[in-house]
Structure 1
Amino acid sequence: MKTRLLTAIILTISASYVYASDTGDSQEKALQLDALVGAVLERNSGLKSVDEATRAATFRIAPASALPDPMLTYAGAPDTAGGPRGFQERVEISQTLPWPGKLDLQKSRASAQAEATASSYEDRRLLIIAAAKQLYAEWAYIHQSLDLKYQHRELLQEMVGVAKARYSAGKALQQEVLQAEVEAAQIDTEIVSHHRRKVEVLARLNALLNRPPTATLPPPAGLPESVELPGMPTLQSLALENHPELHRLRSNVRAAKSELGLAEKDYFPDFKLAGGYNSLWDDEDKRWWLGVSINIPFDFSNKRDASRDAANAEVMQYQWALSDSEARIIADLQESLARVSELEQTLTIYRERLLPLARASLETSLANYRSGKSGFITTIDAQRKQLQTEDAFQRTRSDYLRALALVERYIAKPLTSKSTTSHSNHPSAANLAAMKW
């Protein structure tokens, strides 16, 4: 019985390093990160909404620089009907001409507003990409962690059976049976919690994909192992150059400056050219006429001064907002980069030290249990620590991708992965494949 238990434990140790022993066919059916991101960008309703807003803003550029519609005026003198000269009437056509430069400023303002809307679209796109990658990382962790917990639950169920058999034979204490059952029940509660989390993540992924919340998704294919990160000066330059929020604010500054220019042009008059025919005049030479009129930009109420001051304040508002956003984005980038560096170093510690040590500790505990140097509960403790270490390793891998997604959002550029490890490419996969129950 003890030999049977030891064999089960050894097999589970090897299996716990692997999410699944995938075949080529199952890998093809797995959810790839790039495929998920592409599908989200294609199907997300929120992104399509902002895209339509961008198109609408672009269509407004041409009308902004167009002249006002010409005006046609017609008037008649009813009392002249039936008179000796016939019905007398007047026809007039006029065209308003804004002060030179106003139309160009209106077009510049509309173009800047369209660019700001386009930057909002790009900002939303990057936000959705980051959300998709972070949810994918959580999706991967849940599957990996569940697989580990199922493997260790099977082991604990085997250990419960062995403990009961030894207790019935008078070779073990009841405490061994109870301890194994407690550990198995604890893993069951963790499995229930993970399944609840799986439903939540699935619903959020489907929301990004514009699908029903319960629509199924395949398991994840794998997570990136590491990424080549440039230095902070390069990343900072990329963020300041590429981040769409900064582009949007710069466009808002340009739009506000155009508005300020229009406010300053408002101190000058607009022209109206007019011409027409007036049959009310007795002299036929006077019936055809041409004329010009202007508005007189008196500012008795200070409305033009107020409009100019408001436009100038708006320019300063966006310039200060731009400065604030630049500082905040660089600080957020530095924070995210520090997080990525921390997680990368932590992963190295797990691979090179913690995982091998946890496995060695369990194997040593098994050897001591076999020789009678340690008890059953010590073996269970070692098994629990091995599970916790492996689960924490998978959690760290997931957090690594989540942190990378934030860095990519700040620099508005994807980072090149050194490699992507599928679940079947773990170094211990070969050991698992070589062992059978």
Structure 2
Amino acid sequence: MFYSAHLSYELGLIAALVIAGTQVFASEPDPIAGQPRITVTQLVESVLSHHPGLKARQAALEAAEYRIAPAGALDDPTLSYSTAPDTLDSSRRFNQRLGLSQALPWPGKLALQKQAAQEEARAIAENEGALRLQVAAAAKTLFAEWFYVHRALTINRDHQALLQELRRIAEIQYAAGRAGQQDALQAEVAQARLEVKAVTLDRRRREVQARINALLNRPPQTRVPLPAGLPQLTTPLPRLAQLQMTALRAHPELARIRARIAGAKAQVGLAEKDFYPDFRVMAGYNSFWDDPAKRWTLGFSINLPFDYSNKRSAALDAARADLRQVRWRFTDREARLLGELEASRAAVEENEAVIKVYLRRLAPLAQDNLDAARADYRAGAGPFLNVIDAERQQLRTENGLARVRADYLRQLAQLEQWMGIPLDQLADSISAPAAPLPPAKEITP
């Protein structure tokens, strides 16, 4: 019920991040090695500090920042020299020509080129921020699965022990002539099914461990500490309007497209200035002239920006079309982001409501049902099948609670990814009190 279609997509995204990021196992100190347990915060921090994909984006940003200064710099000056070789042995003087020239673009071109490079660097920086959101969400999703599989294994072991106890009770009842042999066999069959399920869960545990190690850039068989308890949300979710304003203001994907828009505007400006001429100033010395007053020269040249074959008009139209494309991309991404934000918030609210039902009704009722069935069987007032059914209901309830708690963390991670910042950064702006829950012990593996 709580496995949505998005779970497979998210795990596929995690696999893509893993494959794209993992190349050489990290040689840096491992902050989680040797720890008995790990929290979701510790895992996220460790992943963000070790993920190779993020380091690659940081290197790309560094390279883009280094390109800013050259983009706004003048071209190198040109030095030219020529001579008349036949004058070397001539009775007349040795003749030569020396020239120095410097290209000067139309005013404003260099500034626009530098602005375009700056916006490209800003887009790469925001692209790194978007990847950080994806990696953090992937780490939290894997932590949720890491918690669930350990909790499910614990529940499985507890119910195997419970079925062993029920089997002993059935054997005692059978020996006393108050029950049939089938009761003990039913308990044994149920326990065997749990043993099969335990094998599947252990395979799942190894799979999740390998994916966590891949995000951490470690060998897949490296031990991952046991998960600590899942974090509890102590404040209610912010209003949808607040989440939307935060996403529109702070989400790195929108900021990246804004940088692309600014860069496209700079390219339009460059295309417009291409209709104006560029300059070249020159100074030279020419000894070919007999008159010394004519040997030193100063001058300049300009290109004539004729629009042959509409080449400049076409370049300007292309730049304007690129700008429109990026603006429409921003509109599309903004709409999809707001839609995903609303869907993710609804999923979080659903999980909150389901957790409350489990804690307040399903879990206590399942335990009471099992206790009553066991008491009736001991007293000879109920069949053993009722005990087995009650045990299965409690098993499904405990597994369901563990699943929805893990899904709750996963949905929170998705909500933060669409919002653009962690939820705890909005805590100061939330004043409404949280809805209290009845006392419940912390669920840990």
TM-score by length of 1: 0.88
Q: Provide the residue aligned with 2:326 in structure 1.
A: 318
Match of 2:355 in 1: 347
1:180 to 149, 172, 187: 187
Which residue of the partner structure matches residue 121 of structure 2? 114
Shift of 1:202: 0.7
**Residue 378 of structure 2: which of 367, 370, 385 is its match?**
370
1:154-193: CA deviation from partner (whole Å, max 9, x where unpaired): 2213333443555466543232233212211111121111
Partner of 1:359: 367
**Which residue number corresponds to residue 31 of structure 2?**
none
Offset of 1:30 from its aligned partner? 1.3
Contact in 1 for aligned 2:359/2:440 (Cα 8 Å): no
- Residue 214 of structure 1 aligns to a residue whose secondary structure is coil
Asked whether the equivalents of residues 90 and 280 of structure 1 are also in contact (C-alpha less than 8 Å), the reply is yes
Is 1:427 the counterpart of 2:435 in the alignment?
no
Matches within 5 A, 1:265-280: 265-280=273-288
Q: Which residue of 2 aligns with 1:69?
A: 76
Q: Please list every run of 5 or more consecutive structure 2 residues that lacks an aligned counterpart in the other structure.
A: 1-34, 428-432
Match of 1:253 in 2: 261
Moved more, 382-391 or 410-419: 410-419
1-structure distance, mates of 2:359, 2:367: 12
Task: State the distance in 1 between where 2:268 and 2:204 align.
Answer: 53
Amino acid at match of 1:383: E
- CA-to-aligned-CA distance 1:232-257 (integer Å, 9 cap, x gap): 00000001101100000010000001
Aligned residue in 2 for 1:94? 101
Q: Does 2:40 match 1:33? A: yes
Match of 1:193 in 2: 200
Q: What displacement does 1:392 show?
A: 0.4
Misfit runs of 4+, over 2 Å: 157-175, 225-228, 416-419, 425-429
* Secondary structure, aligned partner of 2:308: coil
Partner of 1:294: 302
| 1:122-156, Cα deviation, whole Å (9 max, x unpaired) | 00011111111111111111111110101111221
Deviations 1:377-404 (Å, cap 9, x if unpaired)?
A: 2101101110110110011000000000
1:427 partner amino acid: K
Residue 45 in structure 1 maps to residue 59 in structure 2: no
1:398 equivalent in alignment to 2:415: no
Q: One-letter code of the match for 1:270?
A: D
Find 2:140's aligned residue among 133, 148, 152: 133
Q: Could you give the per-residue CA deviations for residues 339-377 of structure 1, whole angstroms, max 9, x where no partner exists?
A: 000000000000100001101111111121122121112
SS where residue 100 of structure 1 aligns?
Answer: coil
Q: Is the 8 A contact 2:366 2:394 kept in 1?
A: yes
Q: In structure 1, the residue corresponding to 2:97 is in which secondary structure?
A: strand
Question: How far apart are the structure 2 equivalents of 1:170 and 1:76?
Answer: 124
Unaligned runs of 5+ in 1: 1-27, 420-424, 430-437
1:292-313 per-residue CA deviation (whole Å, 9 max, x = no partner) reads 0000001122111111011000
Percent pairwise identity: 48
Structure 2 letter corresponding to 1:382: A
Aligned-residue offset at 1:227: 4.6
Partners of 1:87 and 1:189 lie apart in 2 by: 100
Taking CA–CA contacts closer than 8 Å with sequence separation of 6 or more, which of the two structures ends up with the larger relative contact order?
1
Q: Aligned partners of 1:238, 1:398: CA distance in 2, in Å?
A: 26
Counterpart code for 2:291: D
1:226–1:344: 8 Å Cα contact kept in structure 2? no
Given that residues 227 and 415 in structure 1 are in contact (C-alpha distance below 8 angstroms), is that contact kept between their aligned partners in structure 2? Answer: no
TM-aligned CA deviation for residue 88 of structure 1: 1.6
Give the whole-Å Cα distance in 1 for the aligned partners of 2:389 and 2:272: 79
Whether the 8 Å CA contact 2:109–2:273 is kept in 1: the answer is yes
Task: Give, as a single letter, the amino acid of the residue that structure 2 aligns with 1:117.
Answer: I
Take 1:267 and 1:40, find their aligned partners in 2: how far apart are those partners?
Answer: 51
User: Distance between the aligned counterparts of 2:60 and 2:141, measured in 1?
Assistant: 27
1:30-85 deviations in Å (ceiling 9; x for gaps): 10221111111111111100011111111111111101110111112112221122
User: What number of residue pairs does the alignment pair up?
Assistant: 398
Residue identity opposite 1:47 in structure 2: L
Name the counterpart of 1:214: 221
